[in-house]
């Protein structure tokens, strides 16, 4: 099933071409590239119409150039539409031109400066070795393919649950959004590296429990690195032989509310799964939330430069909309001050498109906390879409650090109010409630304080 409410934006087109371009060992004489070419264009051109009118797959941005993979049969049309491009296919095939292809293979591993699952694992372990008194690594659960879902806790007295508000920064729900795991990871790293030298950081780390969960979907990430760059979902083998559940449609709030915000079709890019929390990856996040005093959350995605807040399942204001507006506007302003990039703010359903079963709606609905989806740069497909260059990582981190610190500050200042003694919101329609199978535990009686136990 194809969907049309995405406005052609992203994420919804079924993709049939599976072409491995970054792996030298995947090449043979018949490398599967025979019907496609890789072209480059100047990245400063307005390429919106190109992306709209031709089925081009953005691959990467390097220097001033953006690379697309395109079927040969469209080359003439693209030329006639007035786009001047260079043929670059030879640079990607080591059998033809090894020197060049090595240059294009990004430094430091198959996905370059971006982290693979293993690279992330080693980096997290190294951080714990370097800063043992303020950080500890937990495993929230296992992915389908048995990889760990890691959480890095950062706080003073890190092995003790103290009477401090918790906040979490999550990334990597979607496999191809590589930048989304770098940002929470770098935020965590910054807190650790600057703890002793920066009074503000020390205050934040001492006063809150900060949880960095950089990679919710490790199996998908590995598939995106090794097999198909634009993979989105996890690697569930579905009943019809297709693969993948969209983890950001698998949370329990308003799950399957309609088939615009998520798809019942297993081969669809936003397939919601057979039931809420059918996937071990989302279950791990659910368990984690039920065991901790979360007071706010940011879930990083890409792309489109926006800060989104609930609801996403319905274009309707929550009763906390004024607060969410203020917080998101403040964060957008902090972002703007760093590199001058504008991040749009708004209710997810209105600013982007409808989604149901996503993380942010669920976190807000069941835990009454501000939960944001930050869609990182670039702004659009023409500027690279899901493919950020390595040089982008630091810039994007620099602009996302101040809003993250701001939100930590905010949960500390508003701790009393953000953990209210009120039940979860029950203002949903009755029919909807019936579909919500989840049992919301009484958070007060589940022993939040003391030794860390909910996670390993």
Q: Active-site residue numbers? A: 375
Residue 29: partners with Cβ closer than 8 Å, 6 or more residues away: 95
**Residue 157 binding: pick among ligand 0X9, Ca ion, Zn ion, none (C-beta 5-8 Å cut-off by kind):** Ca ion
Exposed, middle or buried by CB within 10 Å (0-12, 13-18, 19+), for 317? middle
DSSP-assigned letters across all residues of 256-320: TS-SSSSBS-TTSTTB--SSTT-SHHHHHHHHHHHTS-EEEEEEEEESS-EEEES-SSSS---TT
Query: Residue 347, interface with Zn ion (CB under 5 A)?
Result: no
Say if residues 164 and 209 touch (Cβ distance below 8 Å): yes
Q: Are strands 294-302 and 166-170 parallel, antiparallel or unpaired?
A: parallel
Say if residues 362 and 355 touch (Cβ distance below 8 Å): no
**Residue 308 binding: pick among Ca ion, Zn ion, ligand 0X9, none (C-beta 5-8 Å cut-off by kind):** ligand 0X9
What is the nearest approach in angstroms of Ca ion to the Cβ of residue 38?
50
Q: Can you tell me the distance from the alpha carbon of 176 to that of 159, in angstroms, rounded to the nearest whole number?
A: 33
**Residue 355 binding: pick among Zn ion, Ca ion, ligand 0X9, none (C-beta 5-8 Å cut-off by kind):** ligand 0X9
Specify the residue for token string 């209210």.
420
CB atoms within 10 A of CB 139: 13
Q: Can you tell me the distance from the alpha carbon of 358 to that of 149, in angstroms, rounded to the nearest whole number?
A: 18
Per-residue binding letters, 138-167, with Ca ion (x by CB under 5 A): -----------------xxx----x-----
**What's the token pair of residue 444?**
């007060």
Say if residues 258 and 194 touch (Cβ distance below 8 Å): no
Instruction: Tell me how far apart the terminal alpha carbons of the chain are, to the nearest angstrom.
Output: 40
Residue 361: partners with Cβ closer than 8 Å, 6 or more residues away: 251, 253, 254, 310, 311, 312, 313, 348, 355, 371
**Residue 360 binding: pick among ligand 0X9, Ca ion, Zn ion, none (C-beta 5-8 Å cut-off by kind):** ligand 0X9
DSSP summary character for residue 12: -
**Residue 358 binding: pick among Ca ion, Zn ion, ligand 0X9, none (C-beta 5-8 Å cut-off by kind):** ligand 0X9
**What's the token pair of residue 354?**
């409808």
Q: Is the peptide bond before 311 cis (omega within 30 degrees of 0)?
A: yes
Say if residues 42 and 65 touch (Cβ distance below 8 Å): yes
Restricting to residues 287-306, which ones interact with Zn ion according to CB under 5 A? 301
| Residues of this chain that bind ligand 0X9 (CB under 6 A) | 10-11, 174, 177, 248, 301, 308, 312, 348-349, 352, 355, 358, 360-361, 373, 375
CB atoms within 10 A of CB 359: 27
Nearer residue to ligand 0X9 within complex by CB, 62 or 358: 358
Q: Can you tell me the distance from the alpha carbon of 401 to that of 5, in angstroms, rounded to the nearest whole number?
A: 33
**What's the token pair of residue 104?**
């294009």
What is the nearest approach in angstroms of Zn ion to the Cβ of residue 143?
17
**Residue 156 binding: pick among Ca ion, ligand 0X9, Zn ion, none (C-beta 5-8 Å cut-off by kind):** Ca ion
**Residue 204 binding: pick among Zn ion, ligand 0X9, Ca ion, none (C-beta 5-8 Å cut-off by kind):** none
What is the nearest approach in angstroms of Zn ion to the Cβ of residue 353?
12
Residue nearest to ligand 0X9 (CB): 312
Nearer residue to ligand 0X9 within complex by CB, 59 or 371: 371
What is the nearest approach in angstroms of Zn ion to the Cβ of residue 177?
5
**Residue 327 binding: pick among ligand 0X9, Ca ion, Zn ion, none (C-beta 5-8 Å cut-off by kind):** none
What is the nearest approach in angstroms of ligand 0X9 to the Cβ of residue 254?
10
Nearer residue to Zn ion within complex by CB, 14 or 132: 14
Query: Residue 249, interface with Zn ion (CB under 5 A)?
Result: no
What is the nearest approach in angstroms of ligand 0X9 to the Cβ of residue 345?
13
What is the nearest approach in angstroms of ligand 0X9 to the Cβ of residue 19?
22
Nearer residue to Ca ion within complex by CB, 37 or 162: 162
**What's the token pair of residue 397?**
């981190």
**What's the token pair of residue 53?**
């009118």
What is the nearest approach in angstroms of Ca ion to the Cβ of residue 216?
24
Per-residue binding letters, 108-137, with Zn ion (x by CB under 5 A): ------------------------------
**Residue 348 binding: pick among Zn ion, ligand 0X9, Ca ion, none (C-beta 5-8 Å cut-off by kind):** ligand 0X9
Nearer residue to Zn ion within complex by CB, 177 or 361: 177
Residue 312: partners with Cβ closer than 8 Å, 6 or more residues away: 261, 347, 348, 349, 352, 354, 355, 356, 358, 360, 361, 373
Restricting to residues 167-196, which ones interact with Zn ion according to CB under 5 A? 174, 177
Nearer residue to ligand 0X9 within complex by CB, 39 or 365: 365
CB atoms within 10 A of CB 119: 15
What is the nearest approach in angstroms of ligand 0X9 to the Cβ of residue 406?
20
**What's the token pair of residue 209?**
């429990």
Give contact residues for Zn ion (rule: CB under 5 A). Answer: 174, 177, 301
Give contact residues for Ca ion (rule: CB under 5 A). Answer: 155-157, 162
């Amino acid at each position: 099933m194809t969907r049309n409410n995405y406005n052609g934006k992203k994420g919804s087109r079924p993709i049939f071409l599976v072409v491995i371009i970054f792996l030298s060992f995947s090449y043979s004489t018949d490398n599967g590239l025979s019907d496609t070419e890789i072209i480059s264009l100047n990245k400063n051109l307005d390429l919106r119409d190109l992306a709209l009118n031709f089925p081009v797959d953005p691959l990467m941005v390097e220097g001033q150039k953006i690379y697309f993979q395109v079927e040969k049969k469209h080359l003439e049309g693209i030329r006639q539409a007035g786009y001047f491009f260079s043929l670059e296919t030879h640079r990607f095939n080591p059998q033809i031109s090894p020197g060049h292809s090595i240059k294009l293979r990004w430094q430091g591993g198959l996905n370059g400066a971006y982290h693979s699952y293993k690279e992330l694992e080693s980096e997290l372990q190294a951080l714990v070795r370097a800063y043992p008194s303020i950080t500890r690594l937990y495993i929230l659960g296992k992915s389908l393919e048995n990889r760990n879902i890691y959480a890095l806790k950062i706080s003073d007295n890190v092995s003790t649950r103290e009477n401090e508000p918790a906040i979490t920064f999550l990334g990597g729900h979607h496999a191809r959004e590589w930048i989304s795991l770098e940002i929470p990871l770098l935020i965590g790293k910054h807190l650790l590296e600057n703890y002793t030298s920066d009074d503000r950081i020390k205050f934040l780390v001492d006063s809150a429990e900060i949880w960095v969960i950089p990679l919710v979907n490790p199996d998908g990430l590995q598939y995106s690195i090794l097999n198909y760059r634009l993979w989105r979902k996890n690697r569930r083998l579905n009943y019809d032989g297709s693969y993948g559940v969209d983890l950001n449609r698998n949370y329990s709030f308003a799950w399957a509310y309609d088939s615009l915000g998520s798809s019942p079709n297993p081969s669809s890019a936003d397939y919601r799964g057979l039931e809420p929390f059918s996937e071990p990856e989302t279950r791990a996040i659910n368990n984690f939330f039920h065991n901790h005093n979360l007071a706010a959350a940011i879930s990083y995605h890409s792309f489109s430069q926006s800060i989104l807040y609930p609801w996403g399942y319905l274009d309707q204001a929550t009763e906390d909309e004024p607060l969410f507006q203020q917080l998101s506007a403040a964060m957008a302003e902090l972002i703007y001050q760093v590199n001058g990039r504008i991040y749009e703010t708004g209710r997810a359903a209105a600013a982007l498109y409808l989604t149901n079963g996503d993380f942010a709606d669920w976190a807000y609905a069941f835990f009454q906390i501000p939960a944001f989806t930050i869609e990182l740069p670039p702004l659009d497909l023409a500027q690279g879409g899901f493919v950020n260059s390595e040089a982008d990582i630091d810039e994007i981190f620099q602009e996302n650090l101040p809003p993250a610190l701001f939100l930590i500050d905010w949960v500390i200042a508003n701790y009393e109010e953000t953990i209210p003694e009120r039940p979860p919101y029950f203002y949903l329609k009755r029919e909807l409630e019936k579909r919500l199978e989840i049992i919301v535990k009484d958070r007060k009686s589940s022993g939040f304080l003391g030794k860390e136990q909910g996670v390993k």
